[in-house]
Structure formats: C-alpha cells, structure tokens
Amino acid sequence: MTELDYYEVLEISKDADKSTIKKAYRKMAMKYHPDKNPDDSEAEDRFKAANEAYQVLSDDEKRAIYDRYGKAGLEGHGQGGGFSSAGFDDLSSIFEEMFGSAFGGADFGGGRRQRKSYNYNLDIGIEVEVEFNEAIFGVTKDVTYKYKDACDTCKGTGAKDGKLSTCSTCQGQGQVHIRQGFMTFAQTCPHCQGTGESKAQNCKKCSGTGYHEKEDSFEVSIPEGINDGNRIRVSNRGNIAPDGTRGDLYIQISVKEDSHFIRNGDDIYIEVPLFFTQVALGGNIKIPSLRGELDLEIPAGTKDKEQFKFRGEGVKSVQGYGKGDLIVQIKITYPKSLNKEQKELLTKLQESFGIESKPHESSFESMFDKVKKWF
C-alpha cells in the first residue's frame, strides 16, 4: 500500500507555513466532512487522511521527524502518552468555526462537554413578506406559525412512560471514540445524540418525537425603515422544552420590490424620463418622492444619467441614524420617428447652431491635420 504524503494530502508545498497548513486543512475538512458527504466512503477516507496529515504537520516536532524520516519515524512517537492536547484543541477550534454547535459538540481530547440537550431546537424562524411602502413606514402584521411543545406524557423524552435506558452504543458517556490512523478523537454519539440515554420503546402519544406541534397567532410590529433580509427577534415565542424553557421566534423580513423606487440601504433611487427638448431647454418639473411631490430644477443641457440628490428624503434608518437621500437619475428619451414637418424644424434648428451642432467635425479637423504630418 502506497504511503500517504501528508503535503500532497493537504495540497500544499513542503515549505508551507502554519497559517497555510491550517487554511488547507480547513478547506479539506469542510469539503470532505462525513456530515456533508453521507454514505461516501471515498470522502470519509479523504477526511481521515486530512486529519492525520494536519495532526503531524501542525506540530513542529512531529513535522521535523516526518520531514526527515517519513511516516516510519513517527511510529511510537507519542504512543502511550498520546499527542499533545494543543493539537486536539486546535482541531476542536477549527471544527467549532466551521460547524459551530451543529457539529455535535465534538470534543477532541478533553472531557465531555456539558450542555443542556433537547430533542429539538428551541429557537425557530419564519419569513414574513411586506410591501415596499410597509417596510418604509412600518406596519403591524398578523403572524400565524407553528411551534413544538414537549409531550406531557413522556416529559419530552419520546420514550414510553418517559423511561430511558443507558445508551448501548456509548455506554452512557454521550461520546464515541474514533481512531483515524494513529489519531483518536471523541465525537458525539450518533445514537443518543450525546445524551447518554436511549429509548427502548416510543411514546404512543407523540410517536417518539417527544413533542406535539401547536399553532399560535399574534400581532408583530414591523418598525419603520426595516430592510429586506432583516430579522426581528420575538422573545419567548419559540419551541417549549420539557423543563418549560422557551426559545425565541426569529422573523425574517422579505420586502417586495417597487415598480418605480429602488432602495439601496436608506437611500432611494428613481429614474425620471425627460424628452430631449426638455433637457435642452431646462425648466422645473415635479417628481414623485416617498412622501409626496418635489420640485426639481432641470438645468439646460442636463446630461443623460445625470443625478440630483434630495437630502433627507430617503428612508428613516431602522437603527436611528437619521434619513437617507432621494437620488433622481435623468433618462433622456428621443422620438422613435419624425414626420416631415418635424424633420424640417430639426434641420433648421441644427443649421442655426452652425459648427456647434457638428462637434465631431471640428474635432476631426485637428485629427486630420495631425495624421497628415505623419507622412
């Protein structure tokens, strides 16, 4: 069997520094982790190989031995006393960064992590859609949602009569120890999910789930200035645990788009179409805003896509930082067709401007003179 090259496993060069090694390992672990690749033996092997490589290359002493003697030089190194806890702590922090508590509270090397465990998450999330103007000015919405309440028959255990037995997989420890190469680490027991207990028979009332699903309705106040993707936390509206602890409800706001106004942060953009004669002559026009009409003075000769700003006419900041601005962008429009009279009038108008109406000709004259000098 071909011996693994730890540098090739992590896809790094032999002079890679610790930061590069850690970054490469994080990438491999994220890509090949069993939770992301269920029933994929190849991904599992790659994950184990990456763990093994990182344990060696992240430790200066082991790396020096490996670089000089290869894997054979590590045989017996650290046996009995085990590897330094620093390596395991480092692995633990990496997995915590990538997976958080969702990784199952894997504890590399140290003792069992003590935390309260329930059969379901206490916090829940829902999405509420609001109109564009409702997000701008605020609104009160009726919200109906479902939540979990612990089964009173089994006290949330999911077991018949609420009686749990010691988990046979982890012997009540809540963790199983997995050996990968010469590395051993502890992982949350997949059978009991870290509780150390299991059920022999399911509770008939809740079918073993440990909870009943209920429905609730209430009014929620959507604050003025809220934006798409913002979340509102409503305390004590989440799922209910067996001990009465209740989580929170998180409402994610989805804001519908408007056919005219475009929002960017607390600023509002609107495109105003103007006929080419209007921008040529200039003048005063009325434009729509969030709170009514505004007067806009158009200077003669205004360019296409030119912008005008109305300070404080945007959205009120939901954080209380004042109001954004209204930005008006001009879009110059032209006639799609001309009748005979219109063509004659435009021709006369163009001739009245003389050379000013043909700026390309005066520009080209100097260019033609420049080119002639080349020959």
Q: What are the binding residues for Zn(2+)? A: 151, 154, 167, 170, 189, 192, 203, 206
Per DSSP, the three-state class of 9 is helix
Q: How far is CA 89 from CA 53, 63, 84, 107, 109, in A?
A: 16, 18, 9, 8, 7
| Residue pointed to by tokens 């701008």 | 136
- Closest to 44 measured CA to CA, from 26, 29, 54: 29
* CB 315 within 8 Å of CB 323: yes
Binding site, by residue number, is: 151, 154, 167, 170, 189, 192, 203, 206
Q: Tell me how far apart the alpha carbons of residues 42 and 49 are, in angstroms, rounded to a whole number.
A: 11
Residue 116's CB: how many other CB atoms inside 10 A? Answer: 8
* Cα-to-chain-centroid distance, residue 219: 28
Q: Tell me how far apart the alpha carbons of residues 222 and 200 are, in angstroms, rounded to a whole number.
A: 47
Beta-sheet strand order (sheet of 124-130): 124-130, 249-255, 231-234
Helices (H) and strands (E) in the chain, counts: 9, 15
Q: Which residues of 26-45 are buried (b: 16+ CB within 10 A; e: fewer)?
A: bebbbebbeeeeeeeeebbe
Radius of gyration of the chain (CA): 35
* Cα-to-chain-centroid distance, residue 278: 46
